[in-house]
A and B are shown apart, each in its own frame.
Chain A
Amino acid sequence: MAEQSWFFEFPEMDRADVVALRRFLDGAYRDFSRSYGDAIETVFNPLLFFMVWFEKLLLGMPWLLVLAALTGLAYWASRSAKLTLAVTAAFLLIGYFGMWDDTMRTLSIITVATLLSIVLGVPVGIMMARSDRMQNVVTPVLDIMQTMPAFVYLIPVVMLLGIGKVPGLIAVVVYAIPPLIRLTNLGIRLVDRDVQEAAVAFGATPLQRLLGVQLPLAMPTIMAGVNQTIMMALGMVVIASMIGVQGLGQPVLKSITNQYFTMGLLNGLAIVAIAITFDRVSQAYAKRSQRHLQGLQGD
């Protein structure tokens, strides 16, 4: 009977071995974070300063000025009076319901996370587009980043850097960067071969080809990636609030634990309002800047 038990029960790893493995990995990571945690934190310091500065800027400015800046930005990007009016109304309502400061904090982390994602993601996407081997290596990493529950990678980040803005930012970027990398890669790979060949035939260097042909022609796709990154970053705001990121996520978290339905709903709607604002404005901008391509899209 004992002979056949493996047939009905999975031949598991020995319990003692599991404990030993866990101890080993946990211990190793703890030692790593103890000895290098401070050093790694200093690496992120410039980022922290920038985030703090930007948040203070948004919070310190008179609300009318911020609102004017947002309205101006929306109009410049979309050239649509209707859209601009909707954005203004949304932010007025947010302020009226007392969520102005939290919204500014969320805007600040979203902005920094998006910028960081672009700075890191676009070059990775370019490298992926240039080499199939790179693509084969990076793609599974992106799969892991997108499917691994956020809480799982929050653990090592918090162990390493503690609770606060920087680990929150890292969590947001890890979650939000994959679509940008994927779409940058895709966009460049889809650039018309003929146009690229023409550039080479006129003696363009690889850099001239990248900056003059590949990136501009991939721009609509890359912009779609930026758009997705913003959306995903906003979705991460609530989870990031669990490790001390201030903003609209924290009241939501409080509402969950205390069952404040209205408070949760209002803050949730504020996040939705920001998301829709970013989405519509960035899409309107992308569409406007690619207008001259319209004739080609029919081909």
Chain B
Amino acid sequence: MTEPLIRIEDLYKVFGPSPETVMPMVREGRPKDDILAETGHTVGLRDINLDIDRGSIFVIMGLSGSGKSTLIRHLNRLIDPTEGAVTVGGVDVTRLTPPELRDLRRYKMSMVFQRFGLLPHRTVLQNVAFGLTIQQVETAGRNEKARKWLRTVGLEGYEDQYPAQLSGGEQQRVGLARALCTDPEILLMDEAFSALDPLIRSDLQKQLLELHRRLRKTIVFITHDLDEALRLGDRIAILKDGALSQVGRPEEILLSPADSYVEAFVRDVNRARALTVGAVMKAPVRRLTATTIGGALAQMRDWPGTFGYLFQDNRYRGVVTQDALKDADSGSDTSDHALTGLAVRGPTLTPDISLQDALPVVLESAFPVPVLSRDGGYTGILSAKDVAGILAGADSTAMGNGHATERR
């Protein structure tokens, strides 16, 4: 295992005039409201422990007031913790001197804000180059880089506009380009897409995923929207009242919520859209590796089913049924060419498509559909029965809800 890039250990944050005095109560686990009523202190974060891997998208999700924005601001220390450590690349951020901290913010991390935070009196180009201006890079160099990033986010030609002349989505693209322009290792995104229309938000999510695939930056993304979290996150942490409820991969959160709070969130999610084939597929079975019809028949004899998936030279050839093999076996042609000829080239899936898109394919296929990785490797299978099971879980809860509301 490689070291995580960001490690948060035993992090506490209490807001108020003298947080230290309240810490014993917080550690005892007294409820937030009690502490507020008794001492006038607000518990922002409580016992946070997180590891964030290099190159991953880590989503922190919670409702407003859950402390997610407070948490992300501890990473670049826009907020100082009451207790605990935040380690970035082996360096404890909480111990940095002001100049060291500025260097961290200039070169290692940059941030995208919910309400964009663009400079209204500067042009788009100057805004994108802002981080480099702070670093005192000379004008020609920073403009060249800024132009490159503007092109990347699809805003070429907008260089001399002012932010007020742009739509919300365009402004946030400028915000994203500004954050990328300093070439940081880590991108902090604080509800970056929450202020945008659903369509534009979806656009930007797609663009972010593409950028991430290309650049492999570590992204810490804050959101209150579970659909967004599931779409973007390699891992998701769910915050409630300043404490972590669950940390895990999207499908873990979706398929085995840790407590009733997470469950309540998950209930409303469109599973077919949120889950990918890769998350729900079963382990690959019935891989026919034989080169002759006789070999194939022998291989199939040990299996419960009456068909197999034929792979030759690591390439998927199609489904071969026992009946077809038996028919052919009585003939004389036993070359491997003959075996290939028996394979019926059916539909296949890739792990990254959503269940929603996979559903028609799976339903129309007579056999469970093999899932192939991008390079053609056999990684799993998905049957209509599997899919039905996953979606039924969601459907039954939804129906239960319906009855409950009706009765009321």
B130 on interface, CB distance cutoff 8 Å: yes
Contact A203 B164 (CB under 8 A): no
Is B78 touching A296 in the complex (CB atoms < 8 A)?
A: no
- Which of B24-32, B104-112, B224-232 forms contacts with chain A? B104-112
Q: Which of A59-67, A92-100, A211-219 is the contact stretch? A: A211-219
Within 8 Å of chain A (Cβ to Cβ): is B319?
no
Across-interface contacts of A203 in B (CB, < 8 A): 102-107, 131, 134-135
Contact check, B113 vs A198: say whether CB atoms are below 8 A apart: yes
Q: Taking the complex as formed, is A284 at the interface, i.e. its CB lies under 8 A from any CB of chain B?
A: no
- Contact: A194 with B78, CB < 8 Å? no
Query: Is B265 interfacial (CB-CB < 8 Å)?
Result: no
B164 lies within 8 A of A296 (CB): yes
Contact B105 A202 (CB under 8 A): yes
The answer to whether B120 and A198 touch across the interface, beta carbons within 8 angstroms, is no
Interface residue ranges of B119-150 to A (CB < 8 Å):
119-121, 130-131, 133-135
| In the assembled complex, B22 has its CB within 8 A of some CB on chain A | no
- Within 9-46 of B, Cβ neighbours of A (below 8 Å) are at none
Interface residue ranges of A185-220 to B (CB < 8 Å): 192, 194-195, 197-205, 208, 212-213, 216-217, 219
> CB-CB contacts of A268-299 with B at 8 A, as 1s and 0s?
00000000000000000000001011111000
Would A296 and B134 count as touching, CB distance under 8 A? no
Q: CB-CB < 8 A to B103: which residues of A?
A: 203
Kindly state whether residue B221 has any CB partner on chain A within 8 Å. Answer: no
Closest CB of chain A to B88's CB: distance in Å? 14
| A201 x B105 contact (CB < 8 A) | yes
Cβ–Cβ < 8 Å partners of B118 in chain A: 195, 198
Q: Which residues of chain A have C-beta atoms less than 8 A from B116's C-beta?
A: 194
B256 at the A interface (CB under 8 A): no
A215-241, CB under 8 A of B: which get 1 and which 0? Answer: 011010000000000000000000000
Taking a contact as CB atoms under 8 Å apart, the answer to whether A293 and B164 are in contact is yes
Interface residues of A in 227-260 (CB under 8 A from B): none
Name the residue in A201, A290, A292 with the highest tally of chain B Cβ atoms < 10 Å from its Cβ. Answer: A201
**Contact residue among B110, B134, B164 (Cβ-Cβ distance under 8 Å from A204):** B134
Measured in the bound complex, the distance between the Cα atoms of B134 and A219 in whole Å is: 21
The distance from the CB of A211 to the nearest CB of chain B, in whole angstroms, is 11
**B134–A197 contact, CB under 8 A?**
no
**B152 interface residue per 8 A CB criterion:** no
Chain A residues positioned under 8 Å from B120 (CB to CB)? 195, 217, 292-293, 296
Closest to A204 in B: B134
Distance in angstroms between the alpha carbons of A205 and B116 in the assembled complex: 20
Judged by a CB distance under 8 angstroms, whether B56 is at the interface is no
Query: What separation, in Å, do the CA atoms of A203 and B163 have in the docked complex?
Result: 21
Assess the B78–A200 pair: CB atoms within 8 A: yes
Given A200-B105, A202-B182, the answer on whether A194 and B119 have CB atoms closer than 8 Å is no
Task: Say if the beta carbon of B76 comes within 8 Å of chain A.
Answer: yes
Rounded to whole angstroms, the CA-CA distance of A205 and B178 in the bound complex is 18
Q: Is B165 an interface residue (CB 8 A)?
A: yes
Interface size on B, residues (CB 8 A): 32
A297 to chain B, nearest CB (A): 8
CA A295 to CA B166, docked complex, whole Å: 9
Q: How far is the CB of A216 from chain B (nearest CB, A)?
A: 5
**B110: chain A residues within 8 A (beta carbon):** 201-202
Flag if B164 contacts A294 (CB, 8 Å): yes
- The distance from the CB of A71 to the nearest CB of chain B, in whole angstroms, is 29
Kindly provide the distance from the CB of A217 to the nearest chain B CB, expressed in whole angstroms: 7
Give Cα distance in the complex from A192 to B163, angstroms: 14
B157 at the interface (CB under 8 A from A): no
In the complex with contacts A197-B113, A200-B105, A205-B102, A295-B164 CB distance below 8 A: yes
A-B contact count (CB 8 A): 79
Which of B113, B119, B188 gathers the greatest number of chain A CB atoms within 10 Å? B119
Closest Cβ neighbor of B164 among chain A residues: A295
**Does A195 lie within 8 Å of B134, measured CB to CB?**
no
Decide if B115 is an interface residue (CB 8 Å cutoff). yes
With a cutoff of 8 Å between Cβ atoms, the chain A residues found around residue B106 in the complex are 202-203
Please give, as numbers and ranges, the residues of chain A lying within 8 Å of B107 by CB-CB distance: 203
Q: Looking across the interface, which residue of chain B has its beta carbon closest to that of A205? A: B102
Establish whether residues B119 and A213, one from each chain, have CB atoms under 8 Å apart when the complex forms: yes
Q: How far is the CA of A130 from the CA of B104 in the complex (A)?
A: 24
- Asked if B158 is at the interface (CB within 8 A of a chain A CB), the reply is no
- In chain B, positions 155-170 with a C-beta closer than 8 Å to chain A are 162-165
Q: Are A201 and B76 in contact (CB under 8 A)?
A: yes
Q: Which residue of A lies closest to B114 (CB)?
A: A194
Complexed CA–CA distance, A192 and B120 (Å): 10
Bound-state Cα–Cα, A213 to B121, Å: 9
A208 touches B134 (CB 8 A): yes
Most buried by B among A203, A212, A213, A217: A203
Question: Known contacts A194-B113, A201-B78; is A212 also within 8 Å of B133 by CB?
Answer: yes
* Docked CA distance A204–B165 (Å): 26
Name which residue of chain B comes closest to A194, CB basis. Answer: B117
The distance in angstroms between the C-alpha atoms of A219 and B120, with both chains bound, is: 12
Chain B residues lying within 8 Å of A290, measured Cβ to Cβ, are 121
Please list 23 pairs of residues, one from A and one from B, whose beta carbons are closer than 8 Å in the complex, sorted by A's number.
A192-B117, A194-B113, A194-B115, A194-B117, A198-B111, A199-B130, A199-B134, A201-B76, A201-B105, A201-B113, A202-B110, A202-B134, A202-B178, A203-B102, A203-B131, A216-B119, A217-B121, A290-B121, A292-B121, A293-B120, A293-B164, A294-B164, A295-B162
Closest 10 CB pairs of A and B: A295-B164, A198-B117, A203-B106, A203-B105, A292-B162, A194-B117, A201-B111, A203-B102, A296-B164, A202-B131
Please name 16 further chain A to chain B contacts, defined as beta carbons within 8 Å, in addition to the given A194-B116, A201-B111, A203-B102, sorted by A numbering.
A195-B120, A197-B78, A198-B113, A198-B118, A199-B130, A201-B76, A201-B105, A201-B110, A202-B110, A203-B106, A203-B135, A212-B134, A292-B165, A293-B121, A293-B162, A296-B164
